[in-house]
Structure 1
C-alpha cells in the first residue's frame, strides 16, 4: 500500500487563511443525503473547513489528516474530534459513519485501500462524497497568465497525482452506486490581488519549486497580473467543482 503524500504541513497557516471555502449549497445538499445525521467522517480534513461547516448537521464529526500541522490549525468545534490518521487505515469502529466526505484530497489516496476502509467503517446505505475544484478563472487576460504559470513555470513540480484534478476526477475509480446530481457547483469569490497571491502560495508544487530555486515564482506572476488588476480592486474569482457521490449498499 502506498503512503498518502504529505505536502501541506509547511504552509498550513496559509492554507487556513487563503484556501477557498466551499459553497453552502453544496454542503447543505450533502447533509441532506444520509438516512441519519449521527456521525460524519471528514477524511483529509486539512484545516477542518468541511468538518466545521457540517458540524451543525451531525451529532459527532471525526476529522482526520496525515498532517499534524494541518490539524494544529484546524477549526475547533465542540463535536469535532480531530486526529492524525492515514485515510487507508484508521482506528474507527466498523459500521460507524452515515456520511464520509473527502474534499480536494482523494487524488492523494491509495484508492483501493481507502475504499476498503470506507466499506469497513460506513453504515449500510451510508453516503460517500468526494470532490475537488479545478483551476480558478478570473478574466481572459489573467487566465492566460495563470495558465502559463500553472503549466510552464510550476507545472513540472506538480506530483503525478495532480493529473486527477486536471481530469476532474474522471480518472479516479468509484466502485459504488453513483447518485445523480442535477446541478453543478462552483466556488465563487470576491478577491483582492493579495488574496490571489496568498492562495498561489499554498500550492504543493510551489514547495517543491522553492527547494530547488532561490526565488518565489509567485512574485513574478503576481507582478504580471497586477497590470490587469489593481492592488485594491476586487474581482470575481471562480473555481469549478467536480464531484462523485455514491451510496454504500
Structure 2
C-alpha cells in the first residue's frame, strides 16, 4: 500500500525564489535536527507510488534499460533507495545525517554513504540515475546539479520530486463534506499557525513545487516537468505519526519542551470532527498529495 503525507512547510506563492545558498547541506539547521527525527522518518515517511518510478524509467528510455547504478541523494532512512534496489543492480544512498543513515533499511545491493548533496560519492560518468525526494530545498541547488551532471553517464537521468500538503478525504465517501472541510482546516491550522514560525524559509520552495528550480540547458540537454499525485488509506495514528516527522514539529518540541504536544490536541480534534472512534483503524482516512516531478537527461560536460 502506498503511503502519503503532508509537505514540509507553510503555504507560499508559486514561483518562490531561492534564498542564498547555505554554506553546507541543511544550512543553519544542521543535520542534527534530522538526526533527532530519524526514528519517525524511518517509520512514517512515505513510500512513493509505483507510477512515479514508472514515469522516471519511461523518461529515461534506453538509457535506463541497463538498470546498472542508481544514486539516491538525501536518502534519509532509505525509502527511495529500497524502491530503486528492486529496479537497479546496485544502489548508493547518501545523506548528511548519521542518525538518518543509522535507521536506513538494508538490502544486499544498497550501500549507504555519509556525504552531502554537493559532494556526491561516485566517480565521474558512473551513474545511470540520480534521485532526490523532498530535499532539493536544503541544497546549494546549482552545486548539486553540477555534481549530478558530473557523476551521471552521458545519457544519465536526474529525477527530483517533492509533495504537497495533503487533502483529507473519505475512503468510502461516507464523511460529510462539512466535516472533511473542518478536518482540512485543522491540518492547515497546525501546519501554518501552530508550527508556522518553526518552518525554515526554504519550505516555500517545496510549496511552489520547485518552480523555477529546474536545471537549465547549461547543465542538462533535456528537462521536463510532470505533475503526479499519490494517495494512501491510513489510520489516524499513522497520519499523526507522519506529522511527527515534520522538521517544524521537531523544532517546536525542542524550543518548547514544557508545552503541550500540539499533535495530541490535533489528533483529538480530528477524531471529534470526523466522528472517528478507532485511531488504529486502517483506511479511516485518505490522504491525497500532489507530486511535482522534475526530470533531466544528458548532462552537459563542464569545463
Q: Structure 2 length as normaliser, TM-score? A: 0.78
Kept after mapping to 2: 8 A contact 1:192/1:231: no
1:148 is displaced (CA, Å) by 1.3
1:19 corresponds to: 45
Look up the SS of the partner of 1:160 in the other structure.
coil
Look up the SS of the partner of 1:75 in the other structure.
coil
Instruction: Give the alignment's Cα RMSD to 1 decimal.
Output: 1.6
**1:141 maps to 2:182:** yes
83-92 vs 172-181, greater mean Cα deviation: 172-181
Q: Structure 1 length as normaliser, TM-score? A: 0.94
Q: Give unmatched runs, 5+ long, in structure 2.
A: 1-21, 169-179
Kept after mapping to 1: 8 A contact 2:155/2:297: yes
**1:29 maps to 2:58:** no
Instruction: Provide, for residues 175-201 of structure 1, a one-character-per-residue CA deviation record: whole Å limited to 9, x for no partner.
Output: 2321354xx422211111111111111
Equivalent position to 2:200, from 129, 138, 159: 159
CA distance in 2, matches of 1:193, 1:231: 10
Larger Rg: 2
1:238 corresponds to: 288
Alignment of 1:99-248 (within 5 A): 99-138=129-168, 139-175=180-216, 176=220, 177-179=222-224, 181=226, 184-213=227-256, 214-215=258-259, 216-229=261-274, 230-232=276-278, 233=281, 234-248=284-298
CA distance in 2, matches of 1:38, 1:20: 25
CA distance in 1, matches of 2:225, 2:239: 33
Equivalent position to 2:121, from 84, 91, 111: 91
Instruction: Provide, for residues 215-244 of structure 1, a one-character-per-residue CA deviation record: whole Å limited to 9, x for no partner.
Output: 221112222111123142511111211111
Q: Give unmatched runs, 5+ long, in structure 1.
A: none
CA distance in 2, matches of 1:66, 1:133: 21
Runs of 4 or more above 3 Å deviation: 31-34
1:88 is displaced (CA, Å) by 0.2
Instruction: Provide, for residues 105-140 of structure 1, a one-character-per-residue CA deviation record: whole Å limited to 9, x for no partner.
Output: 111110111111112111101110000100011032
The total of aligned residue pairs comes to 247
2:9 corresponds to: none
Equivalent position to 1:45, from 64, 75, 81: 75
